[in-house]
Structure 1
Amino acid sequence: MPKRRPIYRVIFQSQAQTYEIYASEIYQSDLHGFIEVEEFLFDERSGVVVDPSEEKLKSEFSGVLRSYIPMHTVIRIDEVEKEGVGKITESRGEARSNNVSPFPMPPSPSKD
């Protein structure tokens, strides 16, 4: 029985958008702070219905052999059983930023 090729779902943020891509090769880059993603997988279904976010993703990554993604932008990486539909969605900037508050800092010592 041949070994199954792994499929990874990578979700990351870039320029106020959330990307969900599928690839069969992913590893830590020699460039400090980046992961490398290779062998992108796109759904090759032939159908009448066309998903605009998937088409945008295909056109953005067409001709890309390898992508370097900063680790701090990665939300999640999953190994999945089968490939899903990749997409680009708008991040909820205002709603998301209201849920985050800065960590309280101790008061700085006064200089008398």
Structure 2
Amino acid sequence: MSAKSKTLYRVAFINKGQLYEVYARSVASSELYGFVEIEELVFGERTSLVIDPSEEKLAAEFENVKRSFVPMHAVVRIDEVDKRGTAKLTPVGEGSNVTPFPMYTQGKSETP
């Protein structure tokens, strides 16, 4: 395995009112203006006895996805990590320590 394929990133972004935290081998600015490109998502072994339902849901959602394009304003954080943790979904809103980036539509500011 080359050094590039061993690099692992934890990417946190907001989608559909939830904070997605996923692990990927490749993260870069996209040729599509305003997007971050996430490739080679990494999920846990499906053969293990303990299965996290949140990670299982994410694995199913991204099952046939080759590459994801996430809007830059939705990205909360990107970390290079040594080992994979558990991919997870966390609700965003009241009581959460994550606030979505305000959206501007038709003359007023809205939070998705």
Q: Which residue of 2 aligns with 1:41?
A: 42
Bigger proportion of residues as strand = 2
SS at 1:95 equivalent: coil
Per-residue CA distance 1:11-43 (angstroms, 9 max, x = gap): 010111000000001100011110000011111
Which amino acid in 1 is paired with 2:91?
Answer: E
Q: How do 1:50-65 residues align onto structure 2 when only pairs under 5 Å count?
A: 50-65=51-66
Task: Kindly tell me the number of residue pairs found equivalent between the two proteins.
Answer: 97
Which protein has the larger Cα radius of gyration, Structure 1 or Structure 2? 1
Q: Which residue of 2 aligns with 1:71?
A: 72
In structure 1, C-alpha distance between the alignment counterparts of 2:61 and 2:72, rounded to whole Å: 20
Q: Which residue of 2 aligns with 1:90?
A: 91
Q: Which residue of 1 aligns with 2:21?
A: 20
Q: Which residue of 1 aligns with 2:11?
A: 10
Normalised to the residue count of structure 2, the TM-score between the two structures is 0.78
Q: What is the RMSD computed on CA atoms of the aligned residues?
A: 2.1
Per-residue CA distance 1:82-107 (angstroms, 9 max, x = gap): 1111111211x12359x8xxxxxxxx
Higher mean alpha-carbon deviation, 56-65 vs 41-50, is at 41-50
In structure 2, C-alpha distance between the alignment counterparts of 1:59 and 1:23, rounded to whole Å: 15
Which amino acid in 1 is paired with 2:55?
Answer: E
Q: Which runs of 5+ in 2 are unaligned?
A: 100-112
Normalised to the residue count of structure 1, the TM-score between the two structures is 0.78
